[in-house]
């Protein structure tokens, strides 16, 4: 019965945690490379920071905050599964986590613009 697993909300929580982790693993090396340009001098760093004023970059930053929040919330969910006995009401925490991640990401884009 593998075909019906994707309809289960816990599967979506697992997938969200995994996908956000992969997205962060791809993004973070580039982010650290950008931060490393600060060592080279102000001119190099300023040229990269000029890109941050682009709306596409702000949307990407919103995605970063969203993925960080999703990864944190679903990581806490994994800890709850492993360390605490799982209760039926905790499934609502998944929906709450997604809602909070969306609100935080939307708030970030509103502040950034």
pLDDT digits (tens, 9 = 90+) for 33-59: 887 877 777 777 777 778 878 888 888
Class of domain 9-112: mainly alpha
pLDDT in the model for residue 1: 47
Taking phi first (over 0 means left), then psi (-120 to 50 degrees means alpha), and beta for anything else, what does residue 41 get? left
- Gap between the Cα atoms of 90 and 71, Å rounded: 17
Q: How many CB atoms lie within 10 A of CB 13?
A: 22
Q: Does this model's pTM top 0.75?
A: no
pLDDT digits (tens, 9 = 90+) for 6-24: 667 778 888 888 888 898 8
DSSP string, 36-71: HHHHH-HHHHHHHHHHTTSHHHHHHHHHHHHHHHHH
């Amino acid at each position: 019965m593998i075909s019906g697993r994707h309809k289960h909300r816990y599967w979506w929580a697992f997938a969200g945690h995994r996908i956000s982790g992969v997205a962060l693993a791809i993004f973070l090396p580039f982010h650290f490379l950008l931060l490393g340009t600060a060592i080279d001098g102000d001119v190099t760093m300023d040229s990269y920071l000029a890109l941050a004023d682009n709306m596409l970059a702000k949307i990407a930053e919103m995605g970063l905050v969203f993925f960080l929040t999703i990864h944190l919330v679903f990581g806490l969910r994994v800890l709850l599964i492993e360390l605490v006995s799982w209760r039926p009401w905790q499934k609502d925490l998944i929906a709450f986590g997604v809602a909070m991640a969306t609100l935080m990401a939307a708030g970030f884009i509103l502040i950034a613009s």
